Structures are given as C-alpha cells and as structure tokens.
Amino acid sequence: MRTDYNRDNQELLVDYAKALRDGSIPEFLKSLSGPEARRLRFSLPFQEGVGAARAVVAAAFADQIQTPSTDLFIARVNVRIAARTKQAGAPTPRATAPNHARQTHRTPLPN
C-alpha cells in the first residue's frame, strides 16, 4: 500500500484491486486519508471500478476459491441445541419409541 495521501481515483482503484487480490481490504481502508475516503464515498466512477475489480479478481482466482463446508456448522448447531435442551431440563428425544408405545393391542372384529 502506498502512503501517498494525494492519490487520484485511478491510483486508489489500483490499490483497491491489489488489496482485494491479497485479501487485505482492511489495510487498504486504513490507508485512506479523510479527504480520500469522503471523495470515494460518493464517487460513482470509483464504485463502478470497484465492481469491475471484484469481477476480474473473482474470475482470475475462481479456481483458488474455497467454498466453506456446512457440515461443521451444522454439527456445532446440533451440539448447541443439545446443550441448551439439557440445560433447560427438557427430556431428550429418543431414537426409538419405548416398548409400551410399540405394542399395539388389537381386538378381533366381530363377525
């Protein structure tokens, strides 16, 4: 990141694209001076350039992007639900029905 505080929109867009590629957007935002940040906030050409930079970076690094697995998330949610159920003192659900619920008494039909 450059520390020049008189960057024009083109230079800022280049720095943003580099930060996006490197995963250092917070550092880019910290490098902005107050006047730069205010100028960029309402700059339509910069916002359009940001959209284009995102598309280019996404296309260029699409094969390197890792999608998160939801299995771990679901397992953690299930563990928290079970912990809260135990903490509340609620009965835990059973995998099978108790013996008395499985047995059904049938009476023969009259002929």
CA distance linking residue 26 with residue 28, whole number of Å = 5
* pTM score of the predicted model: 0.50
Segment (H or E) for 85: helix 70-88
**Any domain includes 98:** no
Q: Looking at the domain assignment, is residue 42 inside a domain?
A: yes
Lookup: tokens for 55: 């598309």
- For the chain, the domain total comes to 1
Q: Is the residue at 105 inside a domain?
A: no
Residue 111 is predicted with a pLDDT of 62
Could you tell me the residue range of the domain that residue 66 belongs to? 1-89
- 45 — phi, psi (to 5°)? -60, -35
What pLDDT is attached to residue 83?
86
Residue 57's nearest CA partner among 91, 14, 100, 93 is 14
Q: Give residue-wise pLDDT tens across range 5-64.
A: 678 888 988 998 888 888 888 888 888 888 888 888 888 888 899 899 888 888 887 666
User: Does 104 reside within a domain?
Assistant: no
Task: Please check whether residue 46 lies inside any domain of the structure.
Answer: yes
What is the pLDDT, as a whole number, of residue 70?
Answer: 76
Torsion angle, alpha carbons of 23, 25, 31, 34, to 10? 170
Measure the CA–CA gap between 42 and 103, rounded to whole angstroms.
72
Higher pLDDT, 70 or 90: 70
Q: Would you state the pLDDT for residue 8? A: 86
Report how far apart, in Å, the C-alpha atoms of 8 and of each of 15, 18, 38, 51, 78 are. 11, 16, 13, 18, 51
